[in-house]
A and B are shown apart, each in its own frame.
Chain A
Amino acid sequence: MSGFQLIVRGLLAENPVFRLALSMCPAVAVTTNVKNGFLLGCAVVFVQVMSNLTASALRQFVHQRVRVVIYTIIIATWVSAIDMIMGAYLPDLYDQVSLYIKLIVVFAIIISRMELFASKNPLIPSLFDGLGMGLGFMFGLMMIGAVRELLGSGQLLGFDLLGTKPLLIMILPAGGFFVIGFLMAIFNTVLKKLGLGAPPAGGHH
């Protein structure tokens, strides 16, 4: 698969947020506005890409029996790194999402990509695969963030758009769940029309 195809697959058919329903926790927590969603998305892209690259670089070396442990350590390292970097250089934005950035370490998606793809492929394809999955995640988060920000605070990226009073519920947890549920349903309908088929069995990690 070419690099571009890998990216598109991550964005649409196997979009981690809407289709694979993986790593949902941050999707609801962080997406009170687009900026937060973008921030977490960037963090995930960073972790996914760096972990993929590391796993790919070490693929000849890693012993089968300890590979889960090794992958977990790799992911934890990169998550701690991005956590510290964001905390130092983007303190205002970081404060709101700090817990959820630390929780990137438990995203099943990252370790599953490492296992399924990066451990069997050279560096460059692993890079693109990571990029695709990460961007798909970011795209999902930003979309949820956009809907919630628009409906919940009448703004988009800080610019007031709606003239009327916004629906405060949208930026509270309940609204987050509603928005994701509806967006998922929309995604399902659209993709079914595009012929990309039913989602892979969702609902685990």
Chain B
Amino acid sequence: MMLKHIAKIALNLTVICFFAGTVLGLVNLGTQKAKEENQHKREMLTSMSLLGYGAGNPAPPDLEMRAVSRYLLSVDGAPALGYVLPVDNNPVFIVLSVEGEKLLEIPAPDAHQADINQNLSSLMGKEVSGLRHVEDYRIALLDGKVLGYLIVGNNLGFKANIRMMISLNADFSVRGMAILESEEDPGLGDEAKEPYFRNQFAGKSAEQLARTGVSTSPQPEEYRALLEAQPEGHFTAEEMERLRTVYGDSPIYSITGSTISSTAVTVGVQKAVSRFVYRLQQVNAALAAARTAPPAPAGEPEEEGV
């Protein structure tokens, strides 16, 4: 009978869809958490490695990681910058104009309330809108002193966007670079992940980095040997010194057959570092100006960051 057929078909489809939905829903729930955890773990490993720590040299327990968060907002129609800064134990939120003039400084928790834009508008007496988080810069502190900075850069490569993490020493010279994401061709642009390319950035001062170009000449054998001596980029003080003095001024030797990818990575690193240094200087200058932050009201819960 027709009805029986239709009913059976309908039942089939319902059961199958139910089955599909259940299986997928469960797998999704199970794997989502694992995915985020693994991603976080990987970034942590990369960060630690860029700071010089690894399996053979674990990070000391008193290593502290703080974050400087950068925001973009619009004040009275003009673009402005916001930063959440880890000042001592009380994170502070400041708003700087494009020229570097400090427009506002408040304890960070005070900024983080129901309608942030509204709250900031009333605090500054100006029209604030479009507050959005852009990126984080991380500072590694050991014994209360700056050990290094970790920043993320990106640039369009040959195929897709390349994301990289750069580790800077306290004097803003480059300690190392790691590629986080890239979709370049194996054997070509993908070689940027290899020590002989990516360790080339190590040892360059901020100024040398800004001046460096990309060369298509073959990489000197000695240079390559030195770079590959420490595949993880954990150069000894002596090796770092050699990299700085002997090869600090040499160009970045591009990967054979991948000038575009090599240039993209180099420019990405240059942009990220120069912008970070500039912004940090702006922020420090603004903070150095007379501080007028009101003390945090008693009883306010301490919130870490935003």
Contact = CB atoms under 8 A, between A and B. Distances in A.
B195 to A, nearest CB: 14
Interface residues of A toward B: which range? Answer: 20 to 34
Interface residues of B: mostly helix, strand, loop or mixed? Answer: helix
A61 B20 contact: no
B163 to A, nearest CB: 12
B187 A152 contact: yes
Nearest to B38: A91
A116 interface: no
A74 B5 CA distance: 21
A91 B39 contact: yes
Interface stretch (B29-37, B115-123, B297-305): B29-37
Given A63-B5, A171-B187, A88 B20 contact: no
Contact of A63 (B9, B42, B186): B9
B12 A87 contact: no
Contacts of A152: 187
B290 interface: no
A198 interface: no
Interface in B1-17: 5, 8-9, 12-13, 15-17
B185 interface: yes
A60 B31 CA distance: 33
Interface string B224-255: 00000000000000000000000000000000
Interface residues of A: mostly helix, strand, loop or mixed? Answer: helix
Q: Which of B8, B34, B186, B257 has the most CB of A within 10 A?
A: B186
A98 to B, nearest CB: 10
Nearest to B8: A63
B23 A87 contact: no
Contacts, number: 67
A159 interface: no
Contacts of B186: 32, 96, 153, 171
A153 B27 contact: no
A69 B35 contact: no
Nearest to A81: B27
B19 A69 contact: no
B87 interface: no
B306 interface: no
Contacts of A88: 31-32, 34-35, 38
A62 B187 contact: no
A73 B20 CA distance: 7
Contacts of B216: none
A68 B121 CA distance: 61
A99 to B, nearest CB: 11
Given A84-B27, A91-B35, A168-B187, A77 B19 contact: yes
Interface of B: 5, 8-9, 12-13, 15-17, 19-20, 23-24, 27-28, 31-32, 34-35, 38-39, 42, 185-188, 257
21 contacts: A32-B186, A63-B5, A65-B5, A66-B12, A70-B12, A70-B13, A73-B16, A73-B17, A77-B19, A77-B20, A77-B24, A78-B23, A84-B28, A84-B31, A87-B35, A88-B31, A88-B32, A88-B35, A89-B34, A152-B187, A172-B185
